[in-house]
Chains A and B, each alone.
Chain A
Amino acid sequence: MNATVASPVKKPRSRKIAMPYLLLLPGMLWLITFFLIPILTLVKTSVNMDLANYDPTTGATGSFWGNFWYAFRTHEAPFARSFIYALAATLIALCIAYPLAYGIAFKAGRWKNVLLVLVVAPFFTSFILRTIAWKQILGQQGPVFRLLLDLHLVTYQSHITASAGAVIAGLSYNFLPFMTLPLYSSLERIDPRTLEASGDLYANAFTTFRKVTLPLSLPGVVAGTLLTFIPAAGDYVNAEILGNPSTTMIGNVINAQFLRTSNYTLAAALSFVFMVIIIAIVLFYISRAGTEELV
C-alpha cells in the first residue's frame, strides 16, 4: 500500500543493493565458466557408460552411485595413500613451518622481509624442476644418501628415492610456503604485549605458548594445514618423480586414465569421488577446529 510513496525514495537504495552484485559479476562469470560448467561436464562424463558392466555393444550409461562406488572400490589403495601421504606431509610441514613462522614474526627484526622473500623464493623456479632437484638431493650421488651412508644407516644396494618417504618429503617441501605464510600472518598479528601480560600473570614461556600464542595462531594453523593438505592430496608430480609403482596416489591414476588410457568415464568418476571426500574432510576439520575467525 505504501509502494507508491516508497518508490521515489527507493531508487538510490535499490542501486545500493545492486552494487555488491555488480562487483560480484566478473567473479561469478569466471566461476561459472571455469568451475561450474567443467564440474557439470565432469559429472556427466563420469556416467556416460556403466563402469561395472562395460558392454560396448549396448552403450548403456551408468548410474551415479554405481559408477562412483565402482571407481572408489577399485582404487582404494591410491585413495588411502593420497590422504595418508598428504596428512604426513602436512604434519611435517607444520612442524617445520611453525618455528620458522614464529621466528620470522617475533625474532627476525629487520630481517623479516628478507626471510619472507626467502620463504617464497622456491616459487621462482618451476614445481617440476624443484621436484627433480629433490630426486638429485635424495639420490645415490646426493648429500643425504652420502651422509646416511657414512652413518651406516644405508648400504650401497639400498636407495631412498623411489619410496613413500621420498614422496612425503617432496610433498612437505613443495607445499611448505603454503603452510608458512598463513602461520606467519596469524602470528604476526599477535600483540606482543599480550605475551608480556601472560608472563606477568605467572605463566612461564612454555605455558605462555600453550595458553596464549598457540590459541591465537590457530586460524593460521587451520588455514595452513588446509592449504597444504588439499593440494598435497591431489598432487601427482611428487609420486611420479620421487615414488615407485607402489606409491601411486589418486592424482597419478586420474592422470593416467585421462591422458594414457583415455578412460574418461573412470577418470571423471575418480575425480568426482576425490572431490567429495576432500570436501567432507575439510568440512569436518573446520567444524572441529571451530574457527569463525578463519573467514
Chain B
Amino acid sequence: MADASTSAKGDLKLANVTKSFGEFTAVDDLSLVIPEGSFFALLGPSGCGKTTTLRMIAGLEVPTAGTIHVGNTDITDMRPYKRPVNTVFQNYALFPHLSIFENVAFGLRRRGIKDVKEQVDKVLNLVELPHLAERKPTQLSGGQQQRIAVARAIVNRPALLLLDEPLGALDLKLRRQMQIELKWIQTEVGLTFVHVTHDQEEAMTMADTIAVMNEGRIEQMGSPADLYDNPKTAFVANFLGQSNLIQGKIVDSDGDSHVVDLYGQKVSVLKRRTVAKDSSVLFGIRPEKLRIQPDSHDKPGNVLTGGKISDVSYIGVSTQYQVEMPWGQEIMVFEQNDDGVPPLDKGDEVRLSWEPIFSFALDGNEDATAGVDVEPEAE
C-alpha cells in the first residue's frame, strides 16, 4: 500500500467538482489547478465549503460530480489510504489511545518505514514538543494537540499536505512562529500545501496563491498582491482588507481610463482595473490610498468634495477617519501620521483625493456590502 502513496506526483487538478448534501450544495462546480510545490491558501468565511473541498481531495468525501487528478493520476475514487495526501484535521482527530509518539509514528509504521524513532523525534523537535512524547492526547492543551496534528501529517512528507486551519488554536506569537516553520518545511521539502484558513493575514503572508471561496464557489484566485490590488468582486474587495465601494456610472471613456460619475462628481479609473457588465459600476478605493484635506485645498488627481468627518480614531502610526459624503455614505480613510500635521477634527469639512491608478471598478449590480459583515478571523 505504500507504493501507491508515493507514485502520484504533479499538479493537483480539480475539474468541475461539485458536492451536494441532499438539496444543499456545499461545493459548486469548483475548478482549480494547484501547481506542484506551491503553497496554496483557501480563504473564506465559515461554512463556505473549505473543509468539504479538502475532504474530497483527501478521499474522505466522494464528489457528487467532477474529477480530481494528481499529475495524470485520477484520484477521484481512490481510497484515502492510497492517496499521496495527508491531512491536518480541523479538529485534530488524534488517536486517544496512543501516546503522542505513536500518534506521530502512525503513518510511518503503516508504510513500514525503518527509522521511525529518528523521524518522529525530529518532527517533535520541530513543533517544540519533544518532552510530551509519552503523554496521551487528552493530557495536552488545545494548541499542543494542534501542533501534534501538524507533526503527525508532515512527518510523512506527502506530495500533498492538506491543512485545515492548522493554527487556529494557537496564540499569536506561536502562530507566527508556526507559520514560519510550515513555510520553511514547504519550501525546503518542496511539498504542495493546501492551507485552509479564516485568517487573511496568514493567507497573505504564507501563500503563493490564494483562492477566496464564498458559498461553495471560488470568487477569485491569484497572488496575494493581485487579489488585494485587483479584486474582481465586491466580496473579495471587502473580505480581503477593507474597501470603500461607491455606486457610480461610466459616463465617458478617455484613452486607457473610464470616467465615472459618483453622485454628480467625476472621477476616473483604469480600464484594465474595471470589471463591468454595463455602465453601472461599484467604484472602489482602499482606505489607505485616500488622502484627506480641509475642503479649501485643491489637489490634483481624483477628488471627492463635500465630505464631513463623522468619526476620528487616532491609532498612533495612523489615524482612521469616517467621512460622511453628501449622499449619506460613510467612507473610511486611513491616514499615516507622517507629515507632522495634526489630525483633523470631527465635524470638519473635507475633500478626499487619490491617485487615479489606485482605484478600481466592479460590476455595479453587485451588493456593495458582500463580505463586509463576515468577520474573517472569527473562530
Contacts and interface: CB of A to CB of B under 8 A. Distances in A.
Interface in A169-219: 191, 193-194, 196-204, 207, 211-212, 215-216
B103 to A, nearest CB: 9
Nearest to B85: A200
A193 B107 contact: no
A197 B87 contact: yes
Contacts of B107: 201-202
B134 to A, nearest CB: 16
Given A200-B58, A201-B106, A193 B91 contact: yes
B81 A200 contact: yes
A212 B94 CA distance: 11
Contacts, number: 62
Given A194-B95, A196-B80, A212-B95, A203 B89 contact: no
Contact of B1 (A196, A202, A212, A216): A202
28 contacts: A191-B93, A193-B93, A194-B93, A194-B95, A194-B96, A197-B93, A197-B94, A197-B95, A199-B79, A199-B80, A199-B81, A200-B58, A200-B59, A200-B81, A200-B86, A201-B81, A201-B86, A201-B106, A201-B156, A202-B1, A202-B107, A202-B156, A203-B81, A203-B110, A204-B1, A207-B110, A212-B97, A216-B97
B5 interface: yes
| Interface range on chain A (Cβ under 8 Å from partner) | 10 to 19
Contacts of B81: 199-204
Interface of A: 191, 193-194, 196-204, 207, 211-212, 215-216
B2 interface: yes
A203 B80 CA distance: 9
B152 interface: yes
B237 to A, nearest CB: 36
B65 interface: no
A202 B111 contact: yes
Interface in B1-15: 1-2, 5
Interface of B: 1-2, 5, 58-60, 79-81, 85-87, 89, 91, 93-97, 106-107, 110-111, 152, 156
A190 B89 CA distance: 16
Contacts of B85: 200
Nearest to B156: A201
A191 B94 CA distance: 10
Contact of B60 (A194, A199, A202, A216): A199
A23 B154 CA distance: 51
A44 B58 CA distance: 68
Contacts of A191: 93, 96
Contacts of A196: 60, 80, 89, 93
Nearest to B5: A202
A198 B1 contact: no
A217 B23 CA distance: 35
A204 B79 contact: yes
B356 to A, nearest CB: 51
Contacts of A207: 110
B89 A193 contact: yes
Contacts of B60: 196, 199-200
Closest 10 pairs (CB-CB, A-B) = A201-B107, A202-B110, A193-B93, A199-B80, A197-B93, A215-B97, A200-B87, A201-B106, A202-B81, A203-B110
B77 to A, nearest CB: 14
Contacts of B91: 193
Nearest to A293: B97
A112 B110 CA distance: 33
B152 to A, nearest CB: 7
Contacts of A202: 1-2, 5, 81, 107, 110-111, 156
Residue among A199, A201, A204, A215 with most chain B CB within 10 A:
A201
B73 to A, nearest CB: 17
A259 B173 CA distance: 77
Contacts of A201: 81, 86, 106-107, 110, 152, 156
A140 to B, nearest CB: 50
A197 B87 CA distance: 8
